[in-house]
């Protein structure tokens, strides 16, 4: 099955949209890395690298391969094609997402054919990062508008996401989610503070992922190249090791 998803995107979006460290240069000396997700049980992901970019990703539960992806990039290191080549329920497949990159002066439009989504990034700052994202979509799964603020290093310090959806009583509900971020010297997130209007009760369960808490703190252990090898999370004063990464 082939899915065509045209994107209109700028170079800075790939690898740095959420303020995380762009590790491409530091990863160039490595061939692969394995991430164990201790928070979610016995899941692990193995990523194979070429010039610091992930070209193949394999997802395992225990020792069983669950899915496999291949990734292709353009000359600006933007992802232009991804192919899901294996799924535990379907076997060998060829599920393709094709990405078309188009450049504009002051805005960025992203259209996802499969969901009928169009995104417009605008009001770029001195770091060439957008302050506003406006989204129209066929299904209301994503916020229709997001507003971003950045710190002095160009990392995203605050995001406000506006959503609108119908609840079980078929009433229209408007929601504002506010996330605030702090970073370490390697530009990795070390604190997230969440707020919802109207208020929500924490923790908030997430299907297929860890529950969200109002305040989460993180700590990283780095190797000599400045790449993280361990990630800890602290919630309610309790710190736990959630991710381990082995680079080769």
**Does 39 score more than 80 pLDDT?**
yes
**Does 117 score more than 90 pLDDT?**
no
Answer with the residue of higher pLDDT: 120 or 217.
Answer: 217
User: In the chain, what is the straight-line distance between the N-terminal and C-terminal CA atoms, in Å?
Assistant: 34
Answer with the residue of higher pLDDT: 167 or 23.
Answer: 23
CA distances from 106 to 9, 18, 121, 219, 221 (A): 11, 19, 8, 36, 38
Between the CA atoms of 136, 138, 143 and 144, what dihedral angle is there, to the nearest 10 degrees? 30
Q: What is the mean pLDDT of residues 123-144?
A: 85
Answer with the residue of higher pLDDT: 118 or 28.
Answer: 28
Which three-class secondary structure state does DSSP give residue 78? Answer: coil
pLDDT of residue 194: 98
Could you give phi then psi for residue 13, rounded to 5 degrees?
A: -65, -45
pLDDT band with cut points at 50, 70 and 90 for residue 2: very low
pLDDT band with cut points at 50, 70 and 90 for residue 166: confident
Burial (Cβ within 10 Å: 0-12, 13-18, ≥19) of residue 22:
middle
CB atoms within 10 A of CB 222: 14
What is the rounded CA–CA span in Å between residue 242 and residue 167? 33
Could you give phi then psi for residue 25, rounded to 5 degrees?
A: -65, -45
Q: Print the domain residue range for 11.
A: 2-247
CA distances from 233 to 16, 112, 189, 210 (A): 21, 33, 11, 11
Which three-class secondary structure state does DSSP give residue 46? Answer: strand
150 closest CA partner among 17, 15, 11: 17
**Does 44 score more than 70 pLDDT?**
yes
pLDDT digits (tens, 9 = 90+) for 195-206: 999 999 999 999
Answer with the residue of higher pLDDT: 101 or 245.
Answer: 245
Residue 84 β-bridge partners: 69, 95
Q: What is the mean pLDDT of residues 9-27?
A: 54
> DSSP character for 7?
B
By residue count, the chain amounts to: 248
pLDDT band with cut points at 50, 70 and 90 for residue 3: very low
Q: How many domains does the chain have?
A: 1
pLDDT of residue 168: 82
Q: Is the pTM of this model over 0.75?
A: yes
Under 8 Å between Cβ of 69 and 84: yes
Percent of the chain residues topping a pLDDT of 90: 62
Tell me the pLDDT of the chain averaged across its residues. Answer: 85
Percent of the chain residues topping a pLDDT of 70: 83
């Amino acid at each position: 099955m082939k899915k065509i998803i045209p994107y209109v995107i700028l170079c800075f979006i790939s690898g740095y949209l959420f303020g995380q460290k762009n590790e491409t240069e530091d990863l160039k000396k490595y061939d692969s890395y394995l991430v164990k997700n201790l928070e979610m049980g016995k899941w692990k992901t193995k990523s194979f690298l070429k010039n610091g970019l992930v070209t193949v990703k394999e997802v395992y539960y225990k020792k069983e391969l669950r899915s496999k992806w291949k990734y292709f990039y353009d000359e600006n290191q933007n992802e232009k094609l991804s192919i899901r080549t294996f799924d535990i329920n379907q076997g060998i497949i060829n599920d393709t997402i094709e990405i078309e990159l188009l450049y504009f002066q002051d805005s960025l439009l992203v259209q996802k054919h499969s969901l009928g989504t169009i995104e417009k990034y605008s009001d770029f700052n001195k770091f060439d990062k957008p302050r506003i994202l406006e989204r129209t979509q066929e299904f209301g799964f994503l916020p229709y508008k997001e507003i971003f603020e950045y710190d002095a290093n160009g990392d995203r310090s605050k995001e406000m996401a506006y959503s609108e959806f119908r609840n079980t009583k078929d009433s229209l509900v408007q929601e504002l989610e506010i996330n605030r971020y702090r970073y370490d010297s390697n530009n990795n997130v070390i604190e997230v503070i969440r707020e919802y209007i109207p208020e929500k009760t924490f923790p908030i369960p997430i299907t297929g992922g860890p529950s969200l808490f109002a305040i989460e703190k993180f700590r990283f252990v780095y190797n000599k190249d400045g790449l993280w090898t361990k990630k800890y999370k602290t919630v309610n004063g309790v710190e736990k090791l959630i991710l381990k990464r082995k680079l080769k």
